[in-house]
Amino acid sequence: MVETTVAICDTEPVAVEGLRSVLESAGGLRVVAAENCLAAGLDMALEIKPEIFVLDKGFGTQAVLGALRGLRMAETGIRTVVWGAAISDSEALRMLNAGASGVVRKTATLEIIVECLEAVASGTSWVEDGLIPPADASVRSAHTPLTARELQVAELIERGLTNRDIGRELGIRTGTVKIHLKHIFEKTGVRGRYGLALSGLRAKGLVLAPVM
């Protein structure tokens, strides 16, 4: 059996050992290195180039986002999974935009965590269920079709742009952007800009959630 190499960078040594035990029992995933310091963890990842790098959100959102961008710029081919005790939908979106291939909570079941890593190993981006809207709450499945301008706004939201940036991109006022967003939310039933962005990414097949 060809095993997928995994490196772990976590603030808690006990979490590292727990994940190592889970992956070894699952088969197909082998932990080859681990660090409890973010800087050392990044150096480790760049040196040994594991197929999957599990990164703890506990190092701090901004630090993790910076690490993700750095790994993406290095073009190592490493696929990073961010996991943490608490992750909001907005944080999940920011992690994905920064370069994460997977986002999962530490409170997920062992089966879900393994499923996440296996999906990422296969080349699929993956987000834990509950961090993205239900499948029927999608920009593409709106009961009332979105206008061309509303679709443009939704696309720019998926790219992580602010209302001001969207206004500048489309040549419209920020207040007009807010009106378009209000209409998009009403038509799709999606709550919040981050839910909208994650829903759009999943509708395009760029992000998967676990099958429960």
pLDDT for the residue numbered 12: 92
Architecture of domain 4-127: 3-Layer(aba) Sandwich (3.40)
Share of the chain above pLDDT 90, in %: 40
Reading the block at residue 102, the tokens are: 């997977």
Q: Which residues neighbour 134 within 8 Å (Cβ) at sequence distance 6 or greater?
A: none
- Please give the helix or strand (H or E) that residue 201 lies within, else none: helix 193-203
Q: What H or E segment, with its residue span, contains residue 30?
A: strand 29-35
| Predicted local confidence at residue 80, as pLDDT | 96
Tell me: pLDDT of 6 over 90. yes
Q: For 54-105, what is each residue's pLDDT tens digit?
A: 999 999 999 999 999 999 888 888 999 999 988 887 788 788 878 899 999 9
Q: Note whether 4-127 and 139-203 share their fold.
A: no
| Cα gap 133→140, rounded to integer Å | 13
CATH number for the domain formed by residue range(s) 139-203: 1.10.10.10
User: What are the residue boundaries of the structural domains of the chain, listed by start?
Assistant: 4-127, 139-203
Q: State the average pLDDT over residues 10-14.
A: 93
Q: What is the pLDDT of residue 203?
A: 62
Tens digit of each residue's pLDDT (9 = 90 or more) over 75-88:
888 999 999 988 88
pLDDT of residue 76: 86
Cut 0.75: pTM above it: no
User: Locate tokens 């040994």: which residue?
Assistant: 48
pLDDT, position 212: 39
Q: Do residues 51 and 43 lie in contact, with contact meaning Cβ atoms separated by under 8 Å?
A: no
Give residue-wise pLDDT tens across range 113-149.
999 999 899 888 888 866 655 544 455 555 568 788 9
Phi, psi of 21 (to 5 degrees): -60, -45
CB atoms within 10 A of CB 48: 13
Specify whether the CB–CB gap between 77 and 4 falls below 8 A.
Answer: no
Flag whether pLDDT at 211 surpasses 50: no
pLDDT at 198 over 80: no
The secondary structure of 84-102 as a DSSP string is ES---HHHHHHHHHHT-SE
